[in-house]
Structure 1
Amino acid sequence: MTIREQTEQMQAENLSKYASLPQNSRGRERPVEDCPIRTAYARDRDRIIHCKSFRRLMHKTQVFLSPESDHYRTRLTHTLEVSQIARTIASALRLNEELTEAIALGHDLGHTPFGHAGERALKHCCPYGFSHPVQSVRVVEKLENGGAGLNLTFEVRNGIGCHSYSNPSAEGAALTLEGRVVYYADKIAYLNHDLEDAMRAQVLSEEEIPWTIKYDLGRTKSQRITALIESIVQNSGEDIRMDPTTGAAFKQFHKFMYDAVYTSPAAKGEEGKAQAVVEQLYAYFTAHPKELPQEYQQILKDSDEARAACDYISGMSDRYAVAIYERLYVPQPWSI
């Protein structure tokens, strides 16, 4: 037996009956020879970590645009925190950690520069609309590797595309429990780290956190994350769920963050400028599609300028988008 086959056998013997096994995967769009060491899901995880889109997450906004401190989260650090929380839950439930990690690491690959401000701008401009989970799937299927994509398994792509559905029990949820774990891990991560960043930025204080959230979830980030994870582990079986009290506190936590941080003028004061940058870049490249980089010229041939411009801009980091904007619209000094 190869090392991969031994790993698959151990997973079949030791994981939960609800876990997804790589040997039962629906497979890839293009069949490949099995790796003698890694399972299919471990291979997907590695492909994601080594792709260009993953590296660009380091310079993409999470909530606070272009923060001066090194301690604020970026889209990359958010992704790593989601992965850690998701793996903890998957391990406790004896689900497939490799699949869970692959989904978590890939879930935001299609996110725009400037966070949700950039997403709103492209959604407004592009006739195809824009959704970062859908774009993340497009990244791994069409845009990476010069148009060949990463050729990931169905289960990883499904989990990436379904990671932000509105209701964990509704149609459109991930088909695997591993994908549903990432749904919760994403929200547990961003609610807690965005709260920490907001307090560091003095957008809000600890005294403003509702008492019921402190009472039901905890006063510190560690206590809240632990309470949410424990509730999922203790109440999940054939589906991923929390107990009613913790679930209600989780919803209140989300509403509080939306009202106090995500729509706060202090945190979002620069978003109008960010949206304008994305909108003007989109307008320029749809009007001048021949100026798109070579790798997007094939998309232009296969689709149209709207699709190609959207793919190009959504993949930009914050600082690259600003640099291109300055090159196009800000007068440059004379070089003598």
Structure 2
Amino acid sequence: MISDTSRDPEKPYHRDLPTGTKQEIASYIAAKEALYAPFATKSADGMRRHGRKEDDIRTRFSRDADRIVHTKAYARYIDKTQVFYLVQNDHITHRVLHVQLVSKIGRTIGRSLRLNEDLIEAIALGHDIGHIPYGHTGEACLSLICEREGIGAFRHNVQGVRFLDEIEDQDLTLQVLDGILCHNGEAYDSGIAPQMEKTWDSFDAEIESLIQGGEESAPMTLEGCVVRFADTIAYIGRDIQDAQEVGLIDDATVLPDRVREVLGESNPAIIDTLIKDVIEASDSTHRPSIGYSPAVAEALAELKRFNYKNIYNHPQVTAQHPKIQQMYEAVFSAFCEDLEDERKTSPIYTDFIDTAWTSRRYLAGAAAPEIVRDYIAGMTDRYFEHRFREIVLPTRVDWRF
């Protein structure tokens, strides 16, 4: 073993770069950002809620991306499905792949518009962290319970912020959290202008408004607007591809004429068309906005209608909703009882409350229904199913007479 005699053995190991090397890195980043478009977000603009010390060779937004990737919530992307839950097929899209696609698409657009790619990457990687078991169906089920419990509607974008800002206490920048909060790729946006004058106070007020049923605003940065568009570009054609993979749509199903003529007939063609159109139609220099041309916006709206009719609202996709609601009711009720009775051996304690990664400050301020909501929201599809079976099925006993 090589010994390091240059450091104090009483202090934790910390390797620092020579001052000259750090200055070279800082100069390179400054020169790169000097080429940004006038309304791009500079790394120095990043605002942290708690203002922890910044002493790193990474930019603030690059550090945020790293913090997100190392969270427990990010690790659970691996078994959170996108559209097709309860399907045994390793080739359909899961959240972990979707956020990577959004990041790649967003960075391609951002690079072409001379925007901050580090900020785009951080927002993209974190934007779906609040999604729960069984996607939007699960969200609707849990929201009904939350409203009944008096803790407000459940919104996955709010939950994503809650995981990162409160439960795992990552102290991310306002710009990244705002992009996650305002990422709604399901919206029919033909163009967005950023709402740049946001503060921590207005951000917190927007979260409260969303919980009470309000609508989310536009992101505060052009980069956040790019991710909102990249989200749609990543899923709109991919969902058709996945629907074909599982047999929901056969090869004979034809896209609407306008969609085929304007956007293309395959996922790669649709992605290529939408990316190039956004780059051409957006303005990062004079009147900041991200958008599509009118013809592409109309074709995309028609494609979304096609997807809702043939995929998202298809009877085979929605048929399990009543059973899933029953599952959520059973799981929520069981863990509320565990909290009330302080059953310390319950998974809500061992896998959530008593873990090293759950913030004590969060736990001190959260009511019991909120803790149960957040525990369930963090579950993967497989873990949720396991806990449900554990609750409703009798435990096997090895009787010996």
1:152-163 counterparts in 2 under 5 A?
Answer: 152-163=172-183
Q: 2:113 aligns with which of 84, 88, 93?
A: 93
Of the structure 1 ranges 196-205 and 220-229, higher mean CA displacement relative to structure 2 is found in: 196-205
Q: 2:321 aligns with which of 264, 271, 292?
A: 271
Cα gap change, 1:2 to 1:32, in 2 (>3 Å): farther
For the residues of structure 1 that align with 2:134 and 2:117, how far apart are their CA atoms?
Answer: 30
Q: 1:296 aligns with which of 353, 374, 393?
A: 353
| 1:10 aligned residue | 31
SS of the equivalent of 2:44 reads: helix
| 1:334 aligned residue | 397
> Does the 8 A contact of 1:286 with 1:305 survive in 2?
yes
SS of the equivalent of 1:14 reads: coil
Alpha-carbon offset, residue 203 of structure 1: 1.0
Cα gap change, 1:122 to 1:19, in 2 (>3 Å): same
Q: TM-score, normalised by structure 2?
A: 0.79
| 2:303 aligned residue | 253
For the residues of structure 1 that align with 2:130 and 2:77, how far apart are their CA atoms?
Answer: 9
> Does the 8 A contact of 1:58 with 1:75 survive in 2?
yes
Q: For this pair of structures, how many residues does the alignment match?
A: 331
**Structure of larger gyration radius:** 2
1:99-138 counterparts in 2 under 5 A?
Answer: 99-126=119-146, 127=150, 128-138=152-162
> Does the 8 A contact of 1:41 with 1:98 survive in 2?
yes
> Does the 8 A contact of 1:107 with 1:133 survive in 2?
yes
| Percent of pairs with identical residues | 33
> Does the 8 A contact of 1:133 with 1:161 survive in 2?
yes
Alpha-carbon offset, residue 163 of structure 1: 0.3
**What is the CA RMSD across the aligned residues, in angstroms?**
1.8
SS of the equivalent of 1:56 reads: helix
Alpha-carbon offset, residue 24 of structure 1: 2.0
For the residues of structure 1 that align with 2:326 and 2:28, how far apart are their CA atoms?
Answer: 50
Of the structure 1 ranges 170-179 and 119-128, higher mean CA displacement relative to structure 2 is found in: 170-179
**Code of the aligned partner of 1:141:** D
**Code of the aligned partner of 1:5:** A
Cα gap change, 1:154 to 1:29, in 2 (>3 Å): same
SS of the equivalent of 1:19 reads: coil
Deviations 1:128-168 (A, max 9, x none): 21000011011110111xxxx11101100110000017455
1:77 is the counterpart of 2:97: yes
> Does the 8 A contact of 2:130 with 2:160 survive in 1?
yes
Alpha-carbon offset, residue 300 of structure 1: 5.6
Unaligned runs of 5+ in 1: none
For the residues of structure 1 that align with 2:363 and 2:102, how far apart are their CA atoms?
Answer: 34
**Code of the aligned partner of 2:36:** L
| 1:179 aligned residue | 224
For the residues of structure 2 that align with 1:3 and 1:42, how far apart are their CA atoms?
Answer: 17
Detail structure 1 runs of 4+ shifted over 6 Å in the superposition: none
Q: 1:63 aligns with which of 51, 61, 83?
A: 83
For the residues of structure 1 that align with 2:233 and 2:115, how far apart are their CA atoms?
Answer: 19
1:34 is the counterpart of 2:34: no
